[in-house]
Every structure is written in structure tokens, then in C-alpha cells.
Chain A
Amino acid sequence: MIPSASRDSSEANWRLAEGCRLHWKAWDDEFVIFDEGSGDTHLLDPLAAEVLKVLEESPEEVSSLAHRIVARLDLAPDSDLTERVRELVERFVALGLVEPARP
């Protein structure tokens, strides 16, 4: 069963999935990543790229992840952003890029 970011997301810590080795390329405001672990290539917008970059650095809960994104991208904090971050984490989980961090 694929873990869901929406379930118990306030408690769960998320991290880059084990085996992922990301190579980044940025053009204008779009990002292309190549995961050497899976051989998959993905196209990301700036918000998605920032979420993945943060998780590449350290595991985070969705709420703290959203706070860090707000600071890094100099955004105004709002609940919509937290929801969008949660959705992005879910998509990354489905793509095998993100997984729950072990306690």
C-alpha cells in the first residue's frame, strides 16, 4: 500500500526515498530532475522543486515543510500553501521520490 501524505500528515515525517539519487537542471522557472536510482525524469515547477529540495536536505512534516518553503521562497504564509505542499508530497510519494521517514 502506498503511504498517503493526507493520512496522519500532521505527525508523519517525510523524506527523500531511499535509493533516490537526484540530478537537477534548472531552466528559467522550470526544473528537470533525473533520478539515477529509478532512471525516471520529472518536470517540476518552482514550488514542487523547492519541496523536493527541502526533503533532499532533511526529513520534514508537511506543516514544517510549508514553513520552510514560505521562508525560502519569500511567500506569505497561508493554509492553501500547506494544502498544496501536502498534495505535492502525495504526488512525490506516488512517484516513488518521497517516503515516510522511519522514527
Chain B
Amino acid sequence: MKLGALSASELTARLARGGLDVDTGPFVVRVETEIPALADELRLLYQDFPVDEGDGLADFHVSVRRPAGPLGLRRWWRQQAMAYLDDVRPFEPLPIGMALPMLEWSINWCAATQANHYVMIHAAVLERDGRALVLPGVTGAGKSTLCAGLALRGWRLFSDEFALIRPADGQVDPWPRPISLKNASIELIRRWAPDAGLSTPVPNTNKGTVAHLRPPVGSVARTGEPAMPAWIVFPTFARDAAPRLTRLPRARAFFKLADCSFNYESLGLRGFTTLSRMIDGCDAYEFTYSSLEDALSLLGALPLP
């Protein structure tokens, strides 16, 4: 059953009582919350994901709730939310309006700290004709905007945050969760695709204003289909810049890629071998862009390695 098939009251009740297991592809995430507004946002963003009714095992447990105990006194004048991951609370409480970004960041944190059966790169990933485009980059490089722009124009969304590379065969697993858009990108994507499902923008987070884009239904339906990476493109958004795509020597690309990895250093030889093979099979580029139209056209014309 898909999450969107649950009635609003059933969804709210299951989230509040024991949590709901959402099958996001590589990971089953148990989400627990009694915050009604968060249930509504989950319904919008995760409507196409299957709800796991299996044996009760989940990879990650994330609970977003109002603070209990003495801190709970604050709820009457400034409501807050806290994220618990397996009852550990790694983050400070945030205003309750930030419950959705907090949930998404918490799921990311779970993967970045636990999913060491993958080599993980901080990157957006999309697929076209069976081959994956990997867009590594730090926050602010413009990879999520680019990712959303491409995902809304025919590229299959794998992820806007994680390249999950399988050491065994070098393929990338899809994890098409909502795309996190920030500040001016929110309006840009709204204009790019007026019908796209966007969560309510949340101002004043430590990343500015944040909204999440619902992943395309076709991408969610294909979470079981990995792809071999073909292109590694390091994007930089530069206002009013002419688009520039420059080939990057493989050894330099290796280091830039390793720099963007969450776990390269901790994986030792497995990380080196996996990234080396990835570089062997890909062409790498640096890409400066200022418009999604240019990006769509240039990246869509990349030849196979």
C-alpha cells in the first residue's frame, strides 16, 4: 500500500502510535510523530512511497516530537520539536515549524553515519538511458536546484543528497526522497514546474528558507533499479555566468570526489577501490551555470564515456 492511500486520520494515528514504516528503497525508515502539520507534509511528499507492512524491522527510526519533561513547559509559549534517532537526540530542539526539515536532516544523518555498506558521496544523482549522472558538491554549489530542474524534465531522480555506490559492482542505488530547495531556488523551481508538489517554505533555518519538492512518481516506482555512473559533474552556480563545461583530469576528479564522500576515509581500501573503478568508468567535468535551460541542454548532450 502506498502512503498516499492512507486516510489523513489513519496516517496521523499510525505516525503517533508506534510509527509508520516507509519503504524509501534502500532503507525502510520508521517515522514517528504526533505533530499534525508534519503528518500533512509527509502525506504530500511521500504519497507515492510504499508503506512497509512487513516484519516490523526498519533500518532507521526517527521520531520528531515535542520536548518532554521540564523542557515541555516551553511548549505553551514557543512550541518546539526534537528529533530522536533510536532514542538518541543528536540535534538541539528547533521551533515546531521546522519539524519537516528536521525530519529530513535526521534521515540524512542516519544514512551518513550508518550506511557504510555503501561508499557514500554528498551528491545529487540522476539517470538517463540507464546511466547515472553524479553531481557532487557542498551545500550552496547549486546541486539541488540542478537536480530538481533535471528531475522535472525527464531525468530519473536518484537523490539530491546521496550517491550510494555499491562496492560490489560499482552501481549506484536510487534513494529518491524529497529534494531540499533553499531560498531563491524555491521560487525558481515553482516557475520551472508550477504543478510540482512543494512543501510549505520554512524560513529562518540555518540554511535560510527551506522547502521540499515531492519526488516524481516515476522515480519512486523504480527504487529497485540501480545504474552505472557515466558522468561526474561538479556544478557551481554563478549568477549571470555563461555556461561552461570543462573536462577534469581523472586523478583530480578522484580527489574532488573523495573530498565529497561521507565515508571514504573510514572504508580504507574498499573506498579507494570503489572510487577508482568509478573514475575509470566515468568522464568528469566542472560545470558553471546560471540557468536551468542551459544546464538541461548541455548535460543532456553529454556523450557516453
User: Which A residues have a C-beta under 8 Å from some C-beta of B?
Assistant: 23, 25, 27-28, 30-32, 34, 36, 39, 41, 43
A34 and B254 form a contact (CB under 8 A): no
Q: How many angstroms from the CA of A23 to the CA of B273 in the assembled complex? A: 9
Nearest chain A residue, comparing its CB with the CB of B264: A41
> Digit string of B233-268 for contact with A (CB within 8 Å is 1, else 0)?
000000000000000011110110010000001001
The verdict on A27 contacting B272 (CB below 8 Å), with A32-B254, A39-B265, A43-B255 known, is: no
The answer to whether A27 and B251 touch across the interface, beta carbons within 8 angstroms, is: yes
| Candidates A23, A30, A34, A39; contact of B251 at CB < 8 Å | A30
B135 interface contact, C-beta 8 A: no
Chain B interface, >50% SS class: helix
The answer to whether A43 touches B269, judged by C-beta atoms less than 8 angstroms apart, is: no
Q: List residues of chain B with CB within 8 A of the CB of A34.
A: 269, 272
Cβ-based interface call for B172 (8 A): no
B79 at the interface (CB under 8 A from A): no
- Name the contact of A36 in the complex, choosing from B252, B254, B268, B276 (C-beta under 8 A): B268
Chain A residue at minimum C-beta to C-beta distance from B255: A43
Q: How many A-B residue pairs have CB under 8 A?
A: 36
Contact with A28, one of B249, B255, B269, B273 (Cβ below 8 angstroms): B249
B220: interface (CB < 8 Å): no
* B146 CB–A CB distance under 8 Å: no
Nearest CB of chain B from residue A33's CB, rounded to whole Å: 9
Q: Which residue of A lies closest to B253 (CB)?
A: A27
CB within 8 Å for A27 and B255 given contacts A34-B272, A36-B269: no
Contact B250 A27 (CB under 8 A): yes
Contact partners of A41 in chain B: CB under 8 A: 255, 258, 272
B205, chain A: closest CB distance, angstroms: 34
**Interfacial chain B residues near A23, Cβ < 8 Å:** 269, 272-273
Q: Which 5 A-B pairs have the closest CB atoms?
A: A27-B250, A30-B251, A34-B272, A27-B251, A25-B276
| B250 and A28 contacting across the interface, CB-CB below 8 Å | yes
Q: Which residues of B contact A36 (CB under 8 A)?
A: 268-269
What are 29 A-B pairs with beta-carbon distances under 8 A? A23-B269, A23-B272, A25-B251, A25-B254, A25-B272, A25-B276, A27-B249, A27-B250, A27-B251, A27-B254, A27-B279, A28-B249, A28-B251, A30-B249, A30-B250, A30-B251, A30-B252, A31-B251, A32-B251, A32-B254, A32-B255, A32-B276, A34-B269, A34-B272, A36-B268, A36-B269, A41-B258, A41-B272, A43-B252
Given known A25-B276, A27-B279, A32-B254, contact A39–B249 (CB-CB < 8 A): no
A32 to B273, CA, bound (A): 11
List of A residues within 8 angstroms of B252 by Cβ: 30, 43
